[in-house]
Structure 1
């Protein structure tokens, strides 16, 4: 290590680069002892982030990212040495390879267990991520356009995800326009999915969906309306394009898209209206057989729509909903059955003829399967009473 540090600090650029490559190889070790052995080199790697060579900067960033994730001792040393301001300075680089490497290093830092207390908060001023220009520049780099590349978008979208999950100060991100930027990026990714068969789009879709979902759980209704003025229908159409894409290419990501759909429809009649006006109920019902997790989320979204009242239930009934719900009641998963009962209760409340159709289709026998389930007994009994007596 002493020899490597000597070469890293030599005046010969080629030797410096080779020493940095050796350190990069070492940084791939999963043993924290190796990362800690590299401690003497970290301050130099940090200093060289202001180098004139983009290749050298990129190498230093990836090495720092690898060391950060493996060792708390490395993070403890780098924070007071100014790693956050050093990373913030790199975000102005015109080189996409440097920006992608920066996103990687920053995402490793943001995943540290001490990040919500020591790395992200604004209370730590210039040495914190939220106290630096990084969030605004990340959002700028995530704006759709000819300069946006998949690698950069993936890394910075995950960085935003880790910041949002920390719940330190999501209001600040919303103030910086995070909802509108991510909403536009969602539209852009959906458009790209339609134009190309290239793999990799799901890599950016996943963190974008998570970021929006988590921000919507905290954002005030006014902020959502103000920033997501992208046309309810455009957002809804884009989301369903992605759901179809996931269904064909990556079914494991369907819950991510449905969780966002749930958060969009939970408190917004506008998004529920878009779902109905675009005739998206049938495509939504087609996702029910995928898995119990997907079924429960689809039913939750339909409950969000039904909760909005008689005018919304009018679009749900009549239609293919009854056979689908009877199919769900044949399952044994408690959450799926529970959501089915919830949806039926809302339909019976706002569309009494739905209860009559349910009885004609042997609905009571379907309910009888769940009378013995402790978690469902009360709801089953309540639904039986509603179906029989209104």
Structure 2
């Protein structure tokens, strides 16, 4: 029941760093201008120019970088014998400006969606790792995003990088004081952790390093340090948690209380004036907490804090209109908080948060199912809880839900009614007085619902 990694469009997200002129990057209206493809002879001429005197090299490298924004030119370049070798020669040059320009060319190649282009870059991976300890922040950042892009596209690249010691190099870099370097490092690590072989080949290496404790530190200091790096490392933690291989290690580092405290801080930021982009951090933090609770039910005891519920509803209130995807993330965590723990069920009722929860019923199909599941969690705790649900007028809001045509939503609603009637028979009498039996009759012919509808 664990959630998918990221929303689909974010799952494999290459990054492109460019500091080109406006004319190169796009037109006046911001549209991107892609150069026309070069012929094989033109590509060959550029490579020859890269092998001549230093001035010719600079001009040829600059032209190549622009030309490599075209997919066909990328493919022609990597197929040309000796082209990558020449580019690597300039990348390892002692001339800083030449090295940077060659790095930008390699970065353009790394952004290709063609795995053959990524694999042509295999000989450069060891140099990219070496240069992560460089003195220039801009150069280190460029190397990191180039590595991250190559990791996305090719399993061969990942298999080469692991024995070359990428995890140890990243563990060394994570103590950098530079926000740009940390964000780039988080990007590389998040791409590695999404690989299909991550649970068996990558996560064990990460756990044997200092990375987890520093990731947790950087996520939790995101509001003070830099939100970009915090977002990347929050997704890293999420991928590790979803692998089912490392949760005890994260719990032993205090991940649950640390992330709970961060959620309280995030909610307090919203109570004042939510900074732009805060939802990008809220989303993975909610998932980390929700999935840790789903994985390790005994750890609920560590976070019996009513303020978590208030924080969740503040987040819901803040993002409900502009970022509706956050609603189901909050409800997922609320479901896991209330699933086994009477403390949070009692707190939700005593803090009078039930009306705010019921308002989310018509929000979306997924939200409806999760709201009803949370209500079932509460009702399962027995008569006193069902009495409060009844007294707080949950029934009138359930009747419109029964009229829906979605079997999953209606099925969850029937489950809730069953628990209410079982533990608090007065609710059944009230349900009949409100005409609920007629709503049940319409589902007696629906195959997946008819048995429960008749039973009620």
TM-score by length of 2: 0.80
Distance 2:223 2:186 in 1: 19
> Is the Cα contact below 8 Å between 2:241 and 2:247 reproduced in 1?
yes
Match of 1:175 in 2: 252
Match of 1:219 in 2: 296
Among residues 183, 205, 213, which one is paired with 1:100 in the alignment? 183
Match of 1:152 in 2: 229
> Is the Cα contact below 8 Å between 1:142 and 1:148 reproduced in 2?
no
Distance 1:316 1:225 in 2: 25
Among residues 132, 135, 138, which one is paired with 1:49 in the alignment? 132
Match of 2:323 in 1: 250
Deviation for aligned residue 1:253? 2.6
- 1:83-104 Cα distance to aligned partner (Å, 9 max, x none): 0101111001011111111000
Give the 3-state SS of the residue equivalent to 1:61 in structure 2: helix
Distance 1:329 1:365 in 2: 10
Specify which structure has the higher proportion of helix.
1
> Is the Cα contact below 8 Å between 2:300 and 2:341 reproduced in 1?
no
Match of 1:194 in 2: 271
Distance 1:60 1:118 in 2: 23
Distance 1:266 1:146 in 2: 30
Deviation for aligned residue 1:198? 3.5
Distance 1:82 1:68 in 2: 14
Does 2:192 correspond to 1:109? yes
Deviation for aligned residue 1:143? 2.0
- 1:301-325 Cα distance to aligned partner (Å, 9 max, x none): 0010111112212221123311111
Deviation for aligned residue 1:74? 0.8
Among residues 240, 260, 272, which one is paired with 2:345 in the alignment? 272
Which shows bigger deviation, 306-315 or 130-139? 306-315
Deviation for aligned residue 1:291? 1.3
> Is the Cα contact below 8 Å between 1:300 and 1:339 reproduced in 2?
yes
Among residues 125, 128, 152, which one is paired with 1:69 in the alignment? 152
- 1:157-190 Cα distance to aligned partner (Å, 9 max, x none): 0001111111112111111111112111211221
Deviation for aligned residue 1:258? 0.6
Distance 2:381 2:243 in 1: 32
Distance 1:39 1:144 in 2: 36
Give the 3-state SS of the residue equivalent to 1:142 in structure 2: helix
> Is the Cα contact below 8 Å between 2:222 and 2:229 reproduced in 1?
no
Give aligned pairs, total: 373
Does 2:418 correspond to 1:342? no
Match of 1:27 in 2: 110
Which segments of 5 or more consecutive residues in structure 1 lack a partner in the other structure? 122-127, 384-390
> How well do the aligned residues superpose, as a CA RMSD in angstroms?
1.4
> Is the Cα contact below 8 Å between 1:318 and 1:354 reproduced in 2?
no
Match of 2:239 in 1: 162
1:91 to 1:78, Cα distance in 2 relative to 1, 3 A = same
Distance 1:315 1:18 in 2: 68
1:220 to 1:252, Cα distance in 2 relative to 1, 3 A = closer
- 1:41-97 Cα distance to aligned partner (Å, 9 max, x none): 111000111112222211111110011101111111111100010111100101111
Among residues 89, 98, 102, which one is paired with 1:6 in the alignment? 89
Which segments of 5 or more consecutive residues in structure 2 lack a partner in the other structure? 1-83
Give the 3-state SS of the residue equivalent to 2:444 in structure 1: coil
Deviation for aligned residue 1:340? 1.0
